[in-house]
A = this chain, B = another copy of it.
Amino acid sequence: MNIEPELCQVDDALDIIVGKWKPIILLHLMKNGTMRFNELKRSIPKITQKMLTKHLRELEEEDIIQRVVFPQVPPKVEYSITEYGRSLEKILVEMHEWGTRHRLHKMEKVEKR
């Protein structure tokens, strides 16, 4: 550990991926490539339109995803991970793996009781 806590920029990374639905949105886009708004909505049944819109806007603002509007009726909007956004993939995968191990860790702890 050679990070000076005072100069910690973990929070800068957390700011991007924290949000109730952000990880799952990112995983869907990373897996499927390009997706339309309602396609994402259907893939995440419990999310509200408001939160999906909000999170997508925030991820776009940080250059993690790209938003392409096709000017037609009815509207069509496609979302995809930017090349820059791909740099988050490794961290998400590692967090997923750590999370999986942590679940097991907690289950073992409970069994011992």
A10 to chain B: closest residue by CB: B23
Contact B94 A12 (CB under 8 A): no
Which residue of B4, B14, B103 contacts A23 across the interface (Cβ within 8 Å)? B14
Q: How large is the interface on A (under 10, 10 to 19, 20 to 34, 35 or more residues)?
A: 35 or more
Contact B88 A98 (CB under 8 A): yes
Each complex incorporates copies of this chain amounting to: 2
Taking A14-B95, A91-B91 as known contacts, 11 extra A-B pairs with beta carbons closer than 8 A to each other, sorted by chain A number, are: A1-B27, A1-B89, A1-B93, A3-B92, A5-B28, A8-B96, A10-B92, A10-B99, A14-B14, A87-B101, A94-B94
Which A residues contact B (CB, under 8 angstroms)? 1, 3-5, 8-14, 16-18, 23-24, 27-28, 30-31, 43-44, 62-63, 84, 87-96, 98-103, 105-106, 109
